[in-house]
Amino acid sequence: MFNKFIIYCCFFIATFFSTQSPAQQNSELFGSMPLVSDVSVSPDGSSMAAQMMLDGVPTVITSPFGSKEITVAAKLKDSADRIESIDWVNNNRLFITASRPEYIEGFYFRISAAYSVNTDGSDLIVIHNKAVYKQNESSFMRGLQTIRLINDLVDDDQNVLVYAYDERDGGYSVFKVNVYDSKFTKVASAAGGRHGFVTDVKGNVVFSSITEKHLETLYYKAVGTEQWVELKTIDLTGDINFDPLAVSDDGKSLLVNTDFNSNFNYIAKFDLSTKSIGNKLFAVEGHDIDHSFIRNGQLIGYGYTKDFYERSFISPKQIAYNSQIKALFKNRHSFITSSSVDDQKVVIYSETDHNPGRYYTIDFNTKKADFWFSQYPKLEKTQLNPVQPIDVANRDGLTMRGYLTLPKNQSKAAPLIVFPHGGPHARDDMSFDPFVQFFAAQGYAVLQVNFRGSTGYGNHFHHQGYKQWGMKMQDDLMDAVAQVRKNPAIDATKSCVVGASYGGFAALVASFQQAEQFNCFISISGISDLPAMLQRDTGLSEQLGLYMKSTVGDYKTESDRLKTVSAIYNTDKIQRPVLLIHGVKDTRVYFKQSLDLYNALKAKNKTVEYLELENGTHFFDEEADRKQAFAAMEQFLGKYLASN
């Protein structure tokens, strides 16, 4: 029956595409949201849960382990809603968090909700602390109702530990929650600004933090006591990184992700008696450890990125199994994403730079491996384009890692798309990227570069990006462009800067700083007015304001400098066509950052196009909006960049 369904779908897709224009075909192919993601295995290995896009709406599905026979456990109401997490409480019940954009006091914010449901979709309840919130509470209070799982309490099939806002404490306290009746019992109070709670394997809350302006103090509480004991104070504006992860097996140390006496983040023990950081337990030469994996309060692995994202494990059994998987999928980049408690049944994620991610299941009891689902089934039989790693030396002598994707079967040099990443404290890698492949499928070369300020390459490289928006970070992009333009496969006379979020900001900066070097510019959810963005962020959160002040600038005292790198104040210098794309429900960058720039450019008779998406979010979670954005980009690039 399933095979017949797949055959039918393929026939439908081929028939549908035959009636579409090439731009519509590309937007359909590459603009789809991932079919499946966030895949996990039940504790006993009998079932799987995942997020799946069904009818364009995020849906939680379950299936028997390795089976494609899916059951809908929960489905969100709106395509702009987002599933944030799916966790197993026991072998038959799931804990789900989701969010939606909601208009509050003039802006859109993401409002969170939590649910619990059986794997067959029955007995769905909303996880909500009725004792804390009034039925007709204000929209501001609704915005604080984020609930996040801390510990699923492996020995307790009825309860989990969560963060939840408590108005009485003025912060996010820790509660034990019954997942069958939503009964909340407070375990640790956020009163006094306490946050950052960490539990041990048994679910005891043993660590917390208090932040006052730029100082964060870590506290410890021994099991069976009520007294919080001060351990260490960190200056968030210039001290070491110190991120508590879990308690050591012997209970004498705290496992932390830190960069103490190092340029790179690593995992070490913090001795509770001496209050000192010990030797490195886990480290990756030349790269930061930027992810940790906690199961039932215990550290089981960590993640880092070289050219691909990597996962490493701690137990010898998991290390051996992960090595077997890499040998089994030798021509793909693969690793374990989830496993049963006994580690015998696992889910594998596998991809290449130009092949979509796939999920496989392996039962080590039977030595049986099965393909489950592809993230982008429409692209499985599409000829895609390999990504090449490159190294770029910038004008200050820093070596930057970048990536160049060249379209196949080109009879002449390809126009160049410069595609800076968002963040900016993030990074590009060689993982499969539908945006990159979308551009390359149209015959464009694509350049990505990890400019200074990008993460994963250590503190020195990261901090060199502080207060360099539109300045040295922009110089890094231009140095990379100058290098790749020497490649005979690149048409140096045709290029466009395309970016989203910070990448959109960089595209707009290029539109007036390097106006003559490029044919066009595309900003998706980009920033045109830095002082306005910083003022808004400071109003939302004191800590966010302090962070932005140290990494971007002070909108009060550095306004003149910030305006020199903001497109809204430099419209006279913009000479080439600009496409602006923004979603009204963007909760990270206010959509009027694009709308106001569009109006300013139109008033000066500049060549500008604007696509405003009513339900669009910062990441374009809604599939129809994403496809519309892809189609608009293809048409714009075809008009101003394509080789004739």
CATH of the domain at 417: 3.40.50.1820
**Residue 83 located in a structural domain:** no
Between 543 and 10, whose confidence is greater?
Answer: 543
Q: Considering the domain boundaries, does residue 604 fall inside one?
A: yes
DSSP element (H, E) containing 596:
helix 592-603
Peptide bond into 407 cis (omega under 30): no
Predicted pLDDT at 566: 97
Helices vs. strands in the chain: H and E counts, helices first:
13, 35
Instruction: Name residue 113's beta-bridge partners.
Output: 98
Whether residues 609 and 484 share a domain: the answer is yes
Looking at residue 24, what is its pLDDT?
Answer: 54
Model pLDDT, residue 435: 97
Among the ranges given (134-148, 249-263, 353-367, 559-573), the one the predictor scored with the smallest mean pLDDT:
134-148
Q: What is the pLDDT of residue 293?
A: 92
- 325 with 399, same domain? no
Cα separation values, 210 from 190, 191, 213, 215, Å: 9, 10, 10, 8
Q: Where are the beta strands (DSSP E) in 342-395?
A: 345-352, 355-363, 368-374, 387-393
What integer is the mean pLDDT of 607-627?
91
Question: Lowest-pLDDT range, 2-16, 233-247, 356-370?
Answer: 2-16
463-484 average pLDDT score: 96
Last residue of one domain, picked from the residues 338, 353, 376 = 376
Q: Measured on CA atoms in the order 248, 253, 254, 255, is the torsion positive or negative? A: negative
Asked whether residue 499 is domain-assigned, the answer is yes
Q: Are residues 493 and 396 in the same domain?
A: yes
Residues 329 and 422 in one domain: no
Domain boundary among 376, 395, 410: 376
The answer to whether position 243 is within a domain reads no
For residue 399, the Cα-to-chain-centroid distance in whole angstroms is 25
Of 410 and 627, the structure prediction assigns the larger pLDDT to 627
- Provide mean pLDDT across the span 502-531: 97
One domain, residues 425 and 513 = yes
Asked if residue 71 belongs to a domain, the reply is no
Mean pLDDT of 602-611: 97
**Residue 314 exposed, middle or buried by CB count within 10 Å (0-12, 13-18, 19+):** middle
Percentage of the residues of the chain whose pLDDT score is greater than 90: 71
Q: Is the model's pLDDT at 9 over the cut of 80?
A: no
Instruction: List phi, psi (to 5°) of 155.
Output: -95, 10
Three-class SS of 313-351 = ECCHHHHHHHHHHHHHCCCCEEEEEEECCCCCEEEEEEE
pLDDT at 382 over 50: yes
For residues 409 and 416, give the distance between their C-alpha atoms in angstroms, rounded to a whole number. Answer: 16
Decide if 507 is inside a domain: yes
pLDDT in tens, 485-512: 999 999 999 999 999 999 999 999 999 9
Does position 595 have pLDDT exceeding 60, yes or no? yes
Exposure class string for 518-548: b at 16+ Cβ within 10 A, else e? bbbbbbbbbbbbbbbbbebbbeeeeeebbbb
Query: Hey, how many other C-beta atoms are within 10 angstroms of the C-beta on 516?
Result: 6
Residues 370 and 447 in one domain: no
What CA–CA distance (Å, rounded) separates 459 from 452?
10
Residue 145 pLDDT: 65
Owning domain of residue 396: 387-529+566-640
**Is 52 part of a structural domain of the chain?**
no
Q: Which long-range contacts (CB under 8 A, 24 or more apart) does 543-547 make?
A: 543/211, 546/213, 546/214, 546/236, 546/237, 547/236
Last residue of a domain, which of 376, 402, 418?
376
Q: Supply the pLDDT for residue 182.
A: 94
pLDDT digits (tens, 9 = 90+) for 50-91: 999 998 889 999 999 999 999 999 998 876 788 999 999 999
Check whether residue 360 and residue 477 sit in a common domain.
no
The whole-number average pLDDT for the span 364-390 is 95
Residues 450 and 589 in one domain: yes
Residue 603 domain flag: yes
581 near 628, Cβ under 8 Å? no
pLDDT band at 100 (very low <50, low <70, confident <90, very high): confident
Q: Give me the chain's average pLDDT, please.
A: 89
Q: Residue 83 is encoded by which pair of tokens?
A: 């599933």
| Beta strands at 445-449 and 490-500: parallel, antiparallel or unpaired | unpaired
How is residue 643 written in tokens?
A: 């080789």
Asked whether residue 507 falls in the same domain as residue 453, the answer is: yes
Tell me how far apart the alpha carbons of residues 494 and 366 are, in angstroms, rounded to a whole number: 55
**Integer angstrom CA distances of residue 627 from 323, 520, 634, 639:** 38, 21, 11, 18
Q: Are residues 368 and 395 in the same domain?
A: no
pTM, two decimal places: 0.90
pLDDT digits (tens, 9 = 90+) for 225-284: 989 999 888 887 666 788 889 888 888 889 999 998 899 999 999 998 898 999 899 999
Please indicate, yes or no, whether residues 372 and 397 belong to a single structural domain of this protein.
no
Same domain assignment for residues 500 and 602: yes
- The count of structural domains within the chain is 2
Residue 501 CB burial class (10 angstroms; 0-12, 13-18, ≥19): buried
